[in-house]
Amino acid sequence: MGAMLTAASHVAIVRAADEVPSLDSESVKSGRAIYGQYCASCHGANAQGAPDWQERDERGELPAPPHNAEGHTWRHSDAMLSEMVSKGWRDPFNKTKRLTMPAFGDVLSAEQIRTVIAYLKTLWTPEQRGFQVEESRNQPFPHQMR
Ligand code: HEC
């Protein structure tokens, strides 16, 4: 994992929309259901994010961001996204040390994490999808997560 994440020396090229691989509709469907059950409470029913998600709250923590085209989830590679979901995440500048994005590695299988991310990809513009495909070229989903 570490080696994959440090191999970031490539320059991302925005691909034409027709070069972006299409998403498996069964994965998207189960990913949407997982999203509704485990993610929507914080990230919003339509992945619109928490209100005022760009501003730190009274605890000095960043609220849950959107996963749609308004957010920045599409900037992360498949490897990074699955790591954030399985191990949890906090903004390094948060005033607290807790993981504001909870770890789902004991709740969801690697395959379920992959499908929920597939659902998020349906919310991005073709340009964002193309960027994320390039980002993931050398940083794909882990083949064996545990
Ligand atoms: C308890 C609330 C909560 C739940 C439930 C939750 N998240 Fe999060 N998530 C957050 C917060 C808060 C952040 C922002 C962390 C930060 O940057 O400080 C975040 C960040 C993320 C990020 C990084 C986003 C980015 O654009 O950089 C991803 C990806 C993510 N969440 C996916 C998910 C998925 C998928 C689920 C469901 C399996 C989920 N989250 C469930 C609160 C939550």
Percentage of residues in the chain with pLDDT exceeding 90?
A: 82
Whether residue 57 is predicted with pLDDT greater than 60 in this model: the reply is: yes
Q: Give distance in angstroms: CA of 40 to centre of ligand 1.
A: 10
145 confidence band (pLDDT: 50, 70, 90): very low
70 confidence band (pLDDT: 50, 70, 90): very high
Whether residue 27 is predicted with pLDDT greater than 70 in this model: the reply is: yes
Which protein residue's CA is at the shortest distance from atom 5 of ligand 1?
39
Which protein residue's CA is at the shortest distance from atom 29 of ligand 1?
81
Assigned fold of 2-137: Cytochrome Bc1 Complex; Chain D, domain 2 (1.10.760)
Q: What are the sequence ranges of the domains in the chain?
A: 2-137
How big is the chain, counted in residues? 146
14 confidence band (pLDDT: 50, 70, 90): low
The predicted model gives 116-143 an average pLDDT of: 95
Q: Which of 39, 101, 121 to mutate to test the pocket of ligand 1 (most atoms within 8 A of CB)?
A: 101
Do 79 and 4 meet the contact criterion of CB atoms below 8 Å apart? Answer: yes
Whether residue 137 is predicted with pLDDT greater than 70 in this model: the reply is: yes
